[in-house]
Chain A
Amino acid sequence: MGIIGHIGQYFHLLKETFSRPERFRVYWSRTLEEMDLLGIKSIGIVALLSFFMGAVITIQTKTNIDSPLIQAWVVGFATRQSTILEFSPTIIALILAGKVGSNIAAEIGSMRVKEQIDALDIMGVNSAGFLILPKIVASMFMNPFLVMVSMFLSIFGGYVAGTGTGIISATDYLQGIQTGFIPYHITYALIKTVVFAFIIATVSAYQGYYTIGGTREVGISSTKAVVYSNVVILIANYALTQFLLV
């Protein structure tokens, strides 16, 4: 199938996914489970990555702009701007595409090859809606929280690294992270996060849902889910930045 065929099939799957749920109560309980699996269980990796990402941004910024003409607080400013505008929403989305996206594709792909999706269809359950919609809702709801945690920990990581190694004083860092703050940048980051969450959930689910074959093909679907999610996220990142910031 060509790329146009895949795009058509992707939108057809979305139409099926958003059709009327059979039992709202069952969908809601599945959504809560997915929030735990896709969101809460990702906090650890997001926290670890964000803390060290912030620490590295601070040290890199300081070593690259070490000039008497540039004020010390600029390091804090650069850490905050990099974190809020790009690192937390985009890098965390790419990491989640690897962790959550492969999980979604493998789970749905395994269900496909074990005929469990056929079993749902024969019962009269809308398998696309039942399996995919809770994942989309959970991701779009939880990822903004993960990104906010990431923003905080990244800036905190920069503080710990900067003051701990003595390359910047606490006063300068705190002044930097407060200087020229534009609240809209948080809104921009959260809009991007929600869009990226939708991309991760739907592209990965698409790869899993149309898996044909056996366990080897489930592995291939998981890999494709990560690669295609990343590509689409990067394209969407450019488009959203152009649309929302310029």
Chain B
Amino acid sequence: MIEVKGLSKRFGTVQILTDISAVFETGKVNQIIGKSGSGKSVLAKCMVGLHVPEQGKVLYENRSFYDMDRDQKTEIRQEIGMLFQGSALFDSLTVFQNVMFPLQMFSHKSKSEMEDRAHSCLKRVNILDKDRLFPAELSGGMQKRVGIARAIAMNPKYLFCDEPNSGLDPQTSILIDELIKEITEEFKTTTIVITHDMNSVVETGENIIFIHKGQKWWQGTGDELLNNDNKELNEFIFAGGLMRRIKRSLKN
């Protein structure tokens, strides 16, 4: 479980996040949703320590991240896997080497055990046959799969996914969503997905947090999402034509 308490962040004079408090549950796909520029990626980056908030706490199983020393933070970070919006694979390394990288840096396993682990991660995301290719030779969807394989290589307790569907076609998006959900259930990770893809939210969201103008505006489950009476949330959810049709059919 990850708990955020009273988190505020600003860049210069611009206030990005204001007093955010939320709980992200273990074994569930927790989603942070909101418009572009609402502060959801900044929130995730504050949670993993890429941005330092002015106020507030981030607790990993009651361990306060910002009260830790450097070595403790390094330990926590080895429990975190992150899938980036642009995948952030290392260009000069092959698919296999990308997945091996965190193992080589931190694992105390033998070389053959590390190779077995990397192969099993690639197999898990159905991309084992592409292990000798470089990231530039892969499609966007394949790059996301490799990003997931690298993120789970160290058996993380916490999995962060920053807009995992961006730039993908609807079918590939569904496959990536399903993969994230399966991995969350299989490895009992606390998964946090930052997204504004409503299809993904409706399909996989179990604990949803809506960020609006840097504040937590709403929190609930996927079922509650479609029947809420929050004006700003409804404007966000039903902005697309498809969602408006779904709303009409739900009413009928």
5 pairs, CB–CB < 8 Å, chain A vs chain B: A23-B106, A114-B86, A118-B88, A122-B49, A123-B106
Known: A123-B154, A124-B78. 19 other contacts (CB 8 A): A22-B106, A23-B105, A26-B104, A26-B105, A110-B91, A111-B90, A115-B84, A115-B85, A115-B86, A116-B89, A118-B45, A118-B84, A122-B50, A122-B77, A122-B82, A123-B77, A123-B105, A124-B73, A124-B105
A236 interface residue per 8 A CB criterion: no
What distance in Å separates the Cβ of A178 from its nearest Cβ neighbour in chain B?
Answer: 47
A36 interface residue per 8 A CB criterion: no
**Is the CB–CB distance between A123 and B102 below 8 Å?**
yes
Q: What chain A residues lie within 8 Å of B76 (beta carbons)?
A: 124
**Is the CB–CB distance between B75 and A116 below 8 Å?**
no
The answer to whether residues A119 and B82 also contact, given A114-B88, A124-B74, A124-B77 and a CB cut-off of 8 A, is yes
Binary contact readout B104-137 vs A (1 if CB under 8 angstroms, 0 otherwise): 1110000000000000000000000000000000
Most buried by A among B48, B49, B78, B105: B105
A121 interface residue per 8 A CB criterion: yes
Per the 8 Å Cβ criterion, residues 73-103 of B in contact with A are 73-78, 80, 82, 84-86, 88-91, 101-102
Which B residues are within 8 Å of any A CB, using their own CB?
45, 48-50, 73-78, 80, 82, 84-86, 88-91, 101-102, 104-106, 154, 160
What distance in Å separates the Cβ of A100 from its nearest Cβ neighbour in chain B?
Answer: 17
Give the distance in Å from the alpha carbon of A115 to the alpha carbon of B160 in the complex: 14
What distance in Å separates the Cβ of A131 from its nearest Cβ neighbour in chain B?
Answer: 11
A interface SS class: helix
What distance in Å separates the Cβ of B100 from its nearest Cβ neighbour in chain A?
Answer: 11
Q: What chain B residues lie within 8 Å of A121 (beta carbons)?
A: 49-50, 77
- Please give me the residue from chain A that is nearest to B50 by CB atom: A118
The answer to whether residues A115 and B88 also contact, given A23-B105, A26-B105, A123-B105 and a CB cut-off of 8 A, is yes
Q: How many A-B residue pairs have CB under 8 A?
A: 55
Contact residue among B49, B91, B105, B160 (Cβ-Cβ distance under 8 Å from A125): B105
Contact residue among A23, A114, A122 (Cβ-Cβ distance under 8 Å from B104): A23
Per the 8 Å Cβ criterion, residues 76-131 of A in contact with B are 110-111, 114-116, 118-119, 121-125
| Nearest 10 CB-CB pairings of A with B | A124-B77, A115-B88, A119-B88, A124-B74, A115-B84, A122-B82, A124-B78, A116-B88, A123-B102, A122-B48
Binary contact readout A122-142 vs B (1 if CB under 8 angstroms, 0 otherwise): 111100000000000000000
Contact residue among B80, B85, B91 (Cβ-Cβ distance under 8 Å from A122): B80
**Is the CB–CB distance between A116 and B90 below 8 Å?**
yes
Q: What chain B residues lie within 8 Å of A110 (beta carbons)?
A: 91
The answer to whether residues A124 and B106 also contact, given A115-B85, A119-B84 and a CB cut-off of 8 A, is yes
What distance in Å separates the Cβ of A13 from its nearest Cβ neighbour in chain B?
Answer: 16
Q: What chain A residues lie within 8 Å of B106 (beta carbons)?
A: 22-23, 123-124
Q: What chain A residues lie within 8 Å of B154 (beta carbons)?
A: 123
Give the distance in Å from the alpha carbon of A186 to the alpha carbon of B78 in the complex: 48
Q: What chain B residues lie within 8 Å of A23 (beta carbons)?
A: 104-106
Most buried by A among B45, B88, B106: B88
Q: What chain A residues lie within 8 Å of B89 (beta carbons)?
A: 116
**Is the CB–CB distance between B75 and A124 below 8 Å?**
yes
- Please give me the residue from chain A that is nearest to B83 by CB atom: A119
Q: What chain A residues lie within 8 Å of B73 (beta carbons)?
A: 124
Give the distance in Å from the alpha carbon of A121 to the alpha carbon of B45 in the complex: 11
**Is the CB–CB distance between A22 and B48 below 8 Å?**
no
Q: What chain B residues lie within 8 Å of A26 (beta carbons)?
A: 104-105
- Please give me the residue from chain A that is nearest to B98 by CB atom: A119
What distance in Å separates the Cβ of A30 from its nearest Cβ neighbour in chain B?
Answer: 11
Q: What chain B residues lie within 8 Å of A114 (beta carbons)?
A: 86, 88, 91
Give the distance in Å from the alpha carbon of A33 to the alpha carbon of B98 in the complex: 17
Q: What chain A residues lie within 8 Å of B45 (beta carbons)?
A: 118
What distance in Å separates the Cβ of A208 from its nearest Cβ neighbour in chain B?
Answer: 14
Give the distance in Å from the alpha carbon of A206 to the alpha carbon of B105 in the complex: 24
**Is the CB–CB distance between B78 and A123 below 8 Å?**
yes
